[in-house]
Amino acid sequence: MSQPFATRYPLVFVPGMLGFVRMLLYPYWFGILKALRKGGATAIAVQVSPINATEVRGEQLLLIIERIRRETGADKVNLFGHSQGALTARYAAAKRPDWVASVTSVAGPNHGSELADYLESHYPHGTARGRLLKAVLHALAHLMGWLETGWRGPSLPIDVHASHLSLTCAGVARFNLQYPQGIPLTWGGQGEPLVNGVRYYSWSGVLQDRRSNEGGNRLDGTHVSCRLFAKTFVREAGYCDGMVGRYSSHLGQVIGDDYPMDHFDIVNQSLGLVGKGAEPVRLFTEQAARLKAAGL
């Protein structure tokens, strides 16, 4: 039997803010892990605090990696991080490069999110509007935790303000000073693909491609949300996925940054409703094949 995606090290998937493994019957990585496992990959979806600082999530991820190494016998793992999950994966790789073979950033805000900046200025911490937003997000995180059926473990801490600060452009700039591995030296460029033995990759999409508003996205409410969020962007107003800018997503080897997909399409949500011609699952299977070819 052919096993084109049977990488040397397990593939570990880290969700973004308000992420989950499986909510009731619905998986975060819709159709992706199934396709990878069919091709021989050991693909593991994990859960960290749905809303918290990147460093807190990163420490949680390190404990998970340690357990996966122990249970599988693998020396290292290949990390895939979506959105804030990319920053979380970067933190783990920077802290323990001996445990991580690669980091793949999928629509990661590696230079921050202009949406987070907008919320920072329009819903500031400590104001009535800020407290309302915090309450809504806090309640949503708890609700999603109750509906989580794909992950078992202790209750995970929630800190809305810390999470928000971790995602602003200023917050990520501070993070990058401490953990610069794979970050491009020039805006819009590519970063060093190999640092301390860890390979860094990234890809992302733009919803300004007219194809992203066709196909399944005509029925997808999250696509409408991303189009509304995109109106908050200034620096990358014409090139974003609704939550992360095209160039802000760059890390290490940039596989692509203009796929016709919004921030949710890129991980095949919702129920695979994506724009015309978009193939998010294929991006993951191709990356698994790429990692296998690199001996990872």
Three-class DSSP category at 205: strand
Non-local (6+) Cβ contacts of 34 within 8 A are: none
% helix, strand, coil for the chain, step of 5: 40, 15, 45
Per annotation, catalytic residue among 49, 82, 83, 220: 83
Q: Is 102 a catalytic residue?
A: no
User: b/e string for 253-287 if b means 16 or more Cβ within 10 A?
Assistant: bbbebebbbbbbbbbbbbeebbbeebebbebbbeb
Q: Helix (H) and strand (E) counts for the chain?
A: 9, 9
Per annotation, catalytic residue among 209, 241, 257, 265: 241
CA distance 192 to 205: 21
Per annotation, catalytic residue among 105, 248, 263, 265: 263
CA distance 285 to 33: 9
Q: Is 83 a catalytic residue?
A: yes
Structure tokens at 39: 């091709």
Q: How far is CA 8 from CA 41, 79, 160, 180, 288, in A?
A: 9, 13, 37, 26, 10
Closest to 271 in 3D by CA, of 18, 97, 23, 17: 23
Q: Do residues 88 and 113 make contact, with C-beta atoms less than 8 angstroms apart?
A: no
Q: Is 265 a catalytic residue?
A: no
Residues designated catalytic: 83, 241, 263
